[in-house]
Amino acid sequence: MSELANIARPYAKAAFEYAVENKAIAQWQDMLGFVAAVAQNDSIKQALKSAMAANRLSQLFIEVCGEQLDPHGQNLIKVMAENGRLNTLPDVLVMFNQLKSDYEKEVAIDVTSATELSDKQIADLSASLEKRLARKVQLNCKVDPQLVAGMVIQAGDNVIDGSIRSKLTRLADALQA
């Protein structure tokens, strides 16, 4: 985990806790998504690197964001500017989304298959993974013909590689040993 992610964690946690308390998770996710995009703008990145005073920087940021920020979102921007942390906004968004997924007991799973999966295969795979992980599953499916056959399933740090390509690679390694 990067240093910026460690710095972003308390801001994401505070924003998430406030959002849960006020039943505004979706609103805060939208706000953070917008300010994270603004923070990645080249002109804003230059301003963040400059020696601009924190109150002027927060004012600039709030003006750019306009009506996308409610008063509480503006307070977050002011606090982060005072602490010189506006450059961590993209990491705050990522962590906020992770907290939201944990809160809602959801997990995003990347599925790479050699061929396009049918609707029934997707439904069966989703049901199986939901049962195994005890969470709601969101599948992100993509096709990679180089797998030859089978699929690779990745959920966070867990990887299930059932592709023919990896089996052939392991067989080749065993034969060479």
Question: Tens digits of per-residue pLDDT, 116-133?
Answer: 888 898 888 888 888 887
What average pLDDT does range 128-141 have in this prediction?
82
Summarised one tens digit per residue, pLDDT across range 50-108 is 777 777 877 887 888 778 888 888 888 888 888 888 888 888 898 888 888 778 777 77
The CATH code that applies to domain 105-176 is 3.40.30
Q: Where in the chain is the domain with CATH 3.40.30?
A: 105-176
Q: What is the 3-state secondary structure (H, E, C) of 109-175?
A: EEEEECCCCCHHHHHHHHHHHHHHHCCEEEEEEEECHHHCCCEEEEECCEEEECCHHHHHHHHHHHH
Give the burial class of 111: count Cβ atoms within 10 A of its Cβ; 0-12 exposed, 13-18 middle, 19 or more buried.
buried
Summarised one tens digit per residue, pLDDT across range 2-61 is 666 678 888 888 888 988 888 888 898 888 888 888 888 877 777 777 777 777 877 887
Please determine, for residue 1, whether its predicted confidence score (pLDDT) is greater than 60. Answer: no
The CATH code that applies to domain 3-101 is 1.10.520.20
Q: Where in the chain is the domain with CATH 1.10.520.20?
A: 3-101
